[in-house]
Structure 1
Amino acid sequence: MPIPPADILGIGAVSGYGWSMDDLWSGLLSGSTSAEAHVGLGGRFPDPCWLARIPEGGDPEAGTTRYARAVTAAADEAIADALGRGWRPGERVALLYATTGGDRERWRQRYLEPEPDNPRRRFVEQVWTTPAARVIERYQFHGPSLVINAACTSGLHALAIGQRLLATGDATDVVVVSGDVGFDGEEIRAFASLKALVYDAPPSEVCRPLRGGTRGFVVGEGVAALVLAPARQPGTEGRIRLLGSALGNDAYHPVSIEPSFEYLIRTMDTALGHAEVTREDVDFYVAHGTGTAQCDEADTAVVEHLGKQSVAYCFKAMLGHTMGTAPLLETVITARAYSEGLLPATAAEAEAHPQLARGPMTHPGGVTAQLGLGFGGNITTAVYGDVD
């Protein structure tokens, strides 16, 4: 049964490129990754450590850490963008916040600086509900608020849940925010032991999704935000339409993908059904694109299932893998690509999959399908199209 479509009216982002959507866009068009080799990060960080790290910045009033300030900055940008496109918040604006962890910087301070000047403030800032609560208070939103963790598909999971809140009437509008900032050395070393994360080489040598020689990803930090509202509201100018979405799980393994990809493809077909389009209608495919061997096989299976007309792209080599925020960052990039008529795809070599975009290209609109995968077997798919 179709789920009513929704329009993405506003977008915002903070990334390794800087503190705005414009910084992200110009960074992608530059063709240079936002990851750098960092030295002297302290603690148990590898030294040097390749990381796409959000630079210092943001509004000091929004919080004492980059994490807190970045969440507020991305939400502010998305809301301002939506207001500029004619959005008028309804009575029950929901706030869905997706993340794979709380304020890691604050958690580290909890153990490395056990006697803070203001323990109450430090405790409140490290609670995982606080970033969303600050945005809600700032704008006086009174719809439901959820913190969503579906591992590395968390941001796309939140978007799909947002579409359902609108469909049921539990929310008049939805602000979706996803943030993962402040990874520590222990986490990076532990993830590297799974042979997925690589910290001692640049993304150009490591993360090559749908290309030869790929072996994993470099980690990144990022926050993405968007405003979702029922489609075709009078006076609004949406950037892109969310036609359909679906949630699933392969029920296979805590950290591996079920090798037949049956449930992954089934979830994609469910989203296409909700969107009332066929796989032959899909012009673009946003790959999960972590660069691991398993993910590459999964993305290849989906590309082949969709058909030879689909152009594939992904951005983790440029942004680093920003965990739960990664798919939502790719959603806001896709939304801007529709608005700009330009897709800032990463350059690819001859040995790449024949359907992988070879570099920046004209974006004529059409239908886009997106895949998100997360530890624990989590699967999310979404389908986008042009705004009427």
Structure 2
Amino acid sequence: MSRRRAVITGIGVVAPGGVGRERFWELLAAGRTATRTITFFDPSGFRSRMAAECDFDPAAEGLTPQEIRRMDRAAQLAVVSAREAWRDSGLAADGVPPERIGVSLGSAVGCTTGLEEEYVVLSDGGRHWLVDPAYAVPHLYGYMAPSTLACEVAWACRAEGPVALISTGCTSGLDAVGHGCRLIQDGAADVVVAGATDAPVSPITVACFDAIRATSPNNADPEHASRPFDRRRDGFVLGEGAAIMIIEELEAARRRGASVYCEIVGFATRSNAYHMTGLKPDGREMAEAIRVALDQARLNPEDVDYVNAHGSGTKQNDRHETAAFKRSLGEHARRVPVSSIKSMVGHSLGAIGSIEVAACALAIEHQVVPPTANLLEPDPECDLDYVPLTAREHRIDVVLSVGSGFGGFQSAMLLADPWKVPR
């Protein structure tokens, strides 16, 4: 019996630079950056004082006062993205039995914003060790439990099927979409609302990355601070956002006349079992994830038309995945265009993998490779075609998207045009 084929029929995005998938794609295609000095709080005491913030008004995006009061910012981003994705898919509100709708949501740091804000109130700015719970919002427990994020999306989409929160660091978004794909392939659901959200632009998160010196200190030029694969790169720029995909079985999507962005044809994840933040220079674990994803898709390295890199802009990551591409794709690694959208929208931790999947699906739709912004002085050790500065028209039938996360997580996903790539 052949496995069911999983396709993306709806996309919703809240990202730095604009709300909605159309504004998101416009920013990428134009090569604009959305990184700036942090405005959410006074960052003057921090080493890195930049972020890619979303200009997001929950009331303007249709959330009610009660929803705004109840939800952490990460949940708000996810629900608004999910509602856009559902509308985009064209699914009728009552077109799928609720028990056949699933949710697979990723997040690296959960409701960090809400937890920190509440701690500041409860402790009176950190002055009291013993806090008074009387000052807490009634939904504080929900902030503590990351699964609340998946529940909010399930409620918004009336999903009564399998619901899960995937938290694997910076690969959470990619892994959540991969898990959602498998729910469709295995017949556990007919529709899966899959993606990720994170809203980590808060003092505690900035302090954590300051401590390990992972973020860029280029505060004088925040617009150009995120520069993956550039010789002068000095760390990533923190971001926030959410992206949600509607995943369906191909034949069901065909029967209802749905527009299909792409098919998820391969997914694999590996761990390096090595170090919490360190990466081996040979890229072996990422290369293995790519190899397994290619095998699942029954594709050769030469079939890949575009690689969406993790491209965080740290010294070790960019060298690591350059080595992984060479190891897994062979000589084709030198011919295929590769780029990192983190140069434009920052690194939103667990959310970025799903935001990148959305970018890959839109790249297939528009037949355009987004650029790597700010790549002015290529690192000689990163010697592939990293599409500097300007988007490129290019035939794209198959896209490889990869992710790398603290803890050694390495994930790879292949997306393809189902009408052009035989299965």
Please indicate, yes or no, whether the TM-score normalized by the shorter chain is above 0.5.
Answer: yes
- 1:368 matched to 2:377? The reply is no
- Which of 355, 371, 377 is residue 345 of structure 1 equivalent to? 371
1:217-236 superposed matches below 5 A:
217-233=236-252, 234=254, 235-236=257-258
| Pair 346,255 (structure 1): closer, same or farther in 2 beyond 3 Å | closer
Which residue of the partner structure matches residue 280 of structure 1? 302
Which residue of the partner structure matches residue 78 of structure 1? 85
Post-superposition shift, 1:205? 4.7
Identity percentage of aligned residues = 25
1:10-89 superposed matches below 5 A:
10-38=10-38, 41-42=41-42, 46=46, 49-58=49-58, 59-61=62-64, 62-64=67-69, 65-83=72-90, 88-89=95-96
Mark the runs of 5 or more structure 1 residues left unpaired by the alignment: none
- Which of 132, 139, 146 is residue 128 of structure 1 equivalent to? 146
Q: Does the aligned pair in 2 maintain the 1:203–1:320 contact within 8 Å? A: no
- 1:327 matched to 2:349? The reply is no
| Pair 351,339 (structure 1): closer, same or farther in 2 beyond 3 Å | same
Count of paired positions: 388
1:1-388 superposed matches below 5 A:
4-38=4-38, 41-42=41-42, 46=46, 49-58=49-58, 59-61=62-64, 62-64=67-69, 65-83=72-90, 88-89=95-96, 91-114=99-122, 119-201=137-219, 202=221, 205-233=224-252, 234=254, 235-305=257-327, 306=329, 307=332, 308-347=334-373, 348-349=375-376, 351=378, 353-358=383-388, 359-388=390-419
Alpha-carbon distance in 2 for matches of 1:7, 1:387:
8
Task: For 2:364, give the aligned amino acid.
Answer: Y
Alpha-carbon distance in 2 for matches of 1:239, 1:85:
18
Post-superposition shift, 1:146? 0.8
Higher mean C-alpha deviation, range 273-282 or range 188-197: 188-197
Post-superposition shift, 1:40? 7.3
TM-score (norm 2): 0.84
Alpha-carbon distance in 2 for matches of 1:2, 1:369:
23
Q: Does the aligned pair in 1 maintain the 2:47–2:210 contact within 8 Å? A: no
Which digits, 9 at most, give the CA deviation of each residue in 1:277-329, with x for residues without a partner? Answer: 01121111111100111111122113323223311011111111110111111
Higher mean C-alpha deviation, range 220-229 or range 102-111: 102-111
Which digits, 9 at most, give the CA deviation of each residue in 1:314-348, with x for residues without a partner? Answer: 11111111101111111101111211233332344
Which residue of the partner structure matches residue 126 of structure 2? none
Which digits, 9 at most, give the CA deviation of each residue in 1:134-165, with x for residues without a partner? Answer: 22123221111111111001000111111222
TM-score (norm 1): 0.91
| Pair 319,37 (structure 1): closer, same or farther in 2 beyond 3 Å | same
Post-superposition shift, 1:45? 5.9
Give the number of the structure whose alpha-carbon radius of gyration is greater.
2
Post-superposition shift, 1:204? 5.4
Mark the runs of 5 or more structure 2 residues left unpaired by the alignment: 123-132
| Pair 170,45 (structure 1): closer, same or farther in 2 beyond 3 Å | farther
